[in-house]
Structure 1
């Protein structure tokens, strides 16, 4: 599977979840650039101060993050004129219908609950990649 756009930013504080995401992404396309942030503050700093050419094609965001939570991060991204166009997918352990609704209301294009099986995780990563293709 080859993509025209090749940059995903992942905000995830759990190194194991990052590793699983990175390895699964590589199964689909090793040329995709994955930039990992362990806090939303790091992600926001990167997005606000980075070169326009380095902006990601999609952001994958955990809601349960230290210091700045995922919802605040999502709202910040969607309020910035030069960032609001970037699709944001949520990948989180939270299953509360209210939290999921809040994420969609905040501008997330998709909310995924972290699965327990690798097969389900692969389906999530594939859906994220396919969404990217649909926006090209």
Structure 2
């Protein structure tokens, strides 16, 4: 992997955002995070003109107030400059229906939020691998 990657982390839980950011920064050197506690603020950010989205990855929670992750993904897919943005879903909601909705709405992959340090390391390695395969 060459160059800097930006990860947009959208999750209403401050602790989850902190833990995920720390884990990913532990396995990736050239990464920066932009964090959002809700989907509405995140979508407003993406609507700014001239925003460079070439090296972006989105980590999206599902269960959020005001606008859930499925709604955010659907809204993203309707924005012309966001059609191909890779979205990885991280959620505690792991029912087959939720996973199916996330993938059908445009998520590239679905991960269950880690419940242990070992699971967190696996998730960070998966994100690293995903970024490496994207270039």
Verify same fold: TM over 0.5: yes
Distance verdict in 2 for CA 1:50–1:20, change over 3 Å: farther
* 1:21 matched to 2:20: yes
SS in 1 for 2:65: coil
Q: 17-26 or 50-59, which moves further after superposition?
A: 50-59
> For the structure 1 residues 28 and 3, does the alpha-carbon distance in structure 2 shift closer, same or farther, using more than 3 Å as the test?
farther
> How far has the Cα of 1:74 moved from its partner?
0.5
Q: Structure 1: which 5+ residue stretches go unaligned?
A: none
Q: Which is worse superposed, 16-25 or 55-64?
A: 55-64
**In structure 2, how many angstroms separate the alpha carbons of the residues matched to 1:89 and 1:54?**
15
- Structure 1 runs of 4+ aligned residues shifted over 6 Å read none
Alignment of 1:26-105 (within 5 A): 26-49=25-48, 51-53=50-52, 57-105=56-104
Q: Contact (CA 8 Å) 2:6, 2:56: kept in 1 or not?
A: yes
Residue 134 of structure 1 corresponds to which residue in structure 2? 133
The alignment partner of 2:82 has SS state of: coil
- Per-residue CA deviations over 1:33-75 (Å, capped at 9, x if unaligned) read 1000000001100111153226661100000011011000001
For the 8 Å contact 2:4–2:30, the answer to whether it is kept is no
Question: Please, what is the CA RMSD of the aligned residues?
Answer: 1.6
Q: How far 1:31 moved relative to its partner?
A: 3.3
Structure 1 residues 108-117 or 43-52, which shifts more?
A: 43-52
Contiguous gaps of at least 5 residues in structure 2: none
Shift of 1:105: 0.7
TM-score (norm 2): 0.92
